Copies of this chain bind each other. A is one copy, B any other.
Amino acid sequence: MKLSKSVWQTYKEVPAEAQIPSHQLMMRAGLIHKLGSGLYTYMPFAYRTVRKIEQVVREEMDKVGGQEILMNVVTPGELWQESGRWEKMGSLMLKFLDKADRDLCISPTNEEAVADVFRSSVKSYKQLPVNLYQINTKFRDEIRPRFGLMRAREFTMKDAYTFHMDYECLDREYEKIYQAYENIFTRLGLKFSVVEADAGAMGSKESKTHEFQVTAETGEDIIIFSDEAGYAANVEKADTKRVNLEFDKIGGELKDVDTPNMGTIEDVCNFLKKPEHHSIKSLVYSAITGEDEEIVLIQLLGDDELNELKLKNFLGCEEVVPTPENKLAKLGLPKGFIGAVDLPQPMRVIFDQAIDLDAFYVTGGMKPDLHKENFCPNKHVKEKDVVDLRLARKGDLTPDGKHVVDEKKGIEVGHIFQLGDKYTKAMDVKILDQNGKSMHPLMGCYGIGVTRVMAAAIEQNHDENGIIWPKEMAPYDLYFALIGKSDEIKETADGIYEELKAAGFDVLFDDRKAGPGFKFKDSDLLGLPIRVVLGERDFKEKGELEIVIRRTNEKLFVKKEELISKLKELYAQY
C-alpha cells in the first residue's frame, strides 16, 4: 500500500479520556476513530490487524474440529426468556422492542442462540462432539465505556460452543480448545498466562474454567502465580494460604479501649502496638437477590481483604455490595468501629477461615471511638459461618502450602468454560443417547475478545515512541520509507517496492512528500516490525539502504542486492 493513496492521519494530541497506552497509541496512530461513546471504527491499518488475528483464530479453531457459522447480532428475546436469562443478564445487555413490539437484544453472548441452532440440526449422540464457532460483533452497554477498545461497547468476539454426551468427552474437547488457545496466543506473539478462574454465573461450581491473560502492567486483573508450582489463578479464584499465622492465644478478658478518631486498622494497631493480623476487620455487606436483601457481617484478619466473589458464591445470591453508610447508621452500626459483639440486632456473622477462632483479637467496640481487646470468636460469637473469604495476595502459599506465590497483572483475552447442562436443561435441548433415550447434552463455551487482543498486544508491546506489533498481527510487515526527491530515486523506490511485495512481504510504502523526521516518527508510532529506508544520499554514495528493527531499534545498512535475503532473515527472527 502506498501511503500517498491511503487514508491515514496521525495525531500529536490525544483526548484526555485516553488513559492507557493502547487507547492513547491507537488514537495517536490513527488506527481507530471514535464514533460515539464506546463505539470505535477500525481504520484500514487496524482492520488489517483485526483480520490477521481473526485468521489465526479461525485456523486454530478449524484444526480442532470447529465449524464456523454466523449467528445473529440481534437475537430474539424469547430465546433468552426460555433459558431464564432475559431478566438475569442485567443492564449490560441492550434490550429493545422492534416495530412489531417483539423483544430483541444485541447479543453479548450466544449460548441460547447456539442451543437453538443445535437442537434443530443435531439429533443423535453419533453426531457428537459438535464444535460451532463464530466471529461476530458483540455489544455490552457499559454506562461508562473506557480504555478504548479494552472496554468498548461494541467489539468483535470469537465465541465457540461445544456439545457432548458426557463429561469425559467435554473434558477432552475442552483440553483440545485449551491447547488451540495456547497456539493462538503463541502464534500471535503474546506473553500470556493461563489461569484458573471462577465460573461465576456461567456454569456449575465443579465446572472447569480458565482465563487466558495477556500479562501487562496496565492489566485490570490480578494473577496469583507460582511458576515453580505451575500454579496460576485469577485473584478472585485463587485459594492460596496465608502466612503469618502466629496469633495471640493467651489473651484475657474482653475489654473496652478508647480509640479516639482511630477508624482504621492501621491506626488502632499502631496505637495498641499489635500486628494487624491480631485485629479483626469487620465489613458489612448487602447480599441481594431480586428484591431481597440480607445484611451480613464479615470478619477478616486485620491485614486481609475481602474477595467479594467468594462471598457471593458462598451466599448464592445475585449480587453483594458494601452496605452504604446511611444504611449502616440506620442499623446502628458505627462505621470504623463495628465488631461482632454487642450487635444491635441479630445478623449473620461470617468468619474467614484464616482466623484462629480460639485466638484473641482487637475488634470494633460498636460505639464511635471505641474498640475492644481480647475478642475471641469462639467465646464471643455463638452462631457463625466459617469459610474462605480472603483475597489472595503476593506472599501467600500455593494451595498445597509448598510454594510462595507472586502476583502480576493481566488482561483477559480468552475465557473457556465448562457449562454442563445448564442451558440444555433450561431450554430442554435433547438428543438421543446410545440406548435411544433422550438426554440433555453438556456444553462448553469458549471466547476470545478479538479486538481486545489487539489492544492487549499494544499494552504489552510498546515504548515511548509508539506501538511495537508482534509480527503475526502487524498491519504490514515492512515500513518502506523513501527519503529523496529526484525522479530517479522515486523510480528506484517503486522498483524496490515491487520487489519487496514479490518477495511475499506486506509492505507499507511511505512515498509521501515529507521529510525523514516526519516519516520516522510515523513509522515508530505505527510500529511495523521492520523499517527499510531508501535515502537518496546513502544510496547514491554507497548503494545501501538502511534497515531498522522496531523492537530493538537496531540499525544496519545493506546493499540493494542483499536487501531481500537480509529482510527475510531478520523477519524470521523477529
Contacts and interface: CB of A to CB of B under 8 A. Distances in A.
Interface of A: 5-9, 30, 33, 35-37, 39-44, 47-48, 50, 65, 67-76, 78-79, 91, 94, 96, 98-100, 102, 104, 106, 113, 116-118, 120-123, 127, 130, 132, 136-137, 139, 141, 143, 153-154
27 contacts: A7-B118, A7-B127, A9-B120, A9-B121, A9-B122, A30-B121, A33-B116, A36-B79, A36-B104, A39-B72, A39-B74, A39-B75, A41-B70, A41-B71, A41-B72, A42-B70, A43-B117, A47-B69, A72-B154, A73-B106, A73-B154, A74-B94, A74-B139, A74-B153, A96-B96, A98-B153, A106-B106
A7 B37 contact: no
A8 B76 contact: no
A44 B72 contact: no
Nearest to A98: B141
A96 B99 contact: no
Contacts of A130: 7
B122 A7 contact: yes
A79 B33 CA distance: 14
Ranked nearest first, the 4 interchain pairs of A and B with the lowest CB-CB distance are A36-B76, A96-B96, A44-B67, A42-B70
A82 to B, nearest CB: 12
Nearest to A42: B70
Nearest to A78: B36
A37 B122 CA distance: 22
Nearest to A118: B7
Contacts of A42: 69-70
Nearest to A50: B70
Of A41, A43, A78, A139, the most chain B CB neighbours within 10 A belong to: A41
B100 A143 contact: yes
Nearest to A139: B74
B30 A74 contact: no
A76 B35 contact: yes
Copies assembled:
2
Given A9-B123, A39-B75, 15 more contacts: A7-B121, A9-B122, A33-B116, A33-B117, A35-B72, A36-B75, A36-B76, A37-B76, A39-B72, A40-B72, A41-B113, A41-B117, A44-B68, A74-B153, A94-B98
Contacts of A33: 116-117, 120-121
Say what secondary structure dominates the interface of chain A: mixed
B35 A100 contact: no
B99 A141 contact: yes
B121 A35 contact: no
Contacts of A102: 36-37
Given A98-B94, A99-B143, A102-B37, A74 B154 contact: yes
Contacts of A43: 69, 117, 121
A40 B44 CA distance: 29
A33 B116 CA distance: 9
Of A67, A72, A117, the most chain B CB neighbours within 10 A belong to: A72
A139 B98 CA distance: 11
Nearest to A36: B76
A71 B43 CA distance: 8
A47 B62 CA distance: 14
A508 to B, nearest CB: 12
A71 B156 CA distance: 12
A351 B104 CA distance: 47
A122 B75 CA distance: 37
A409 B154 CA distance: 39
A32 to B, nearest CB: 10
A159 B423 CA distance: 37
A153 B74 CA distance: 9
A94 B97 CA distance: 9
A116 B33 CA distance: 9
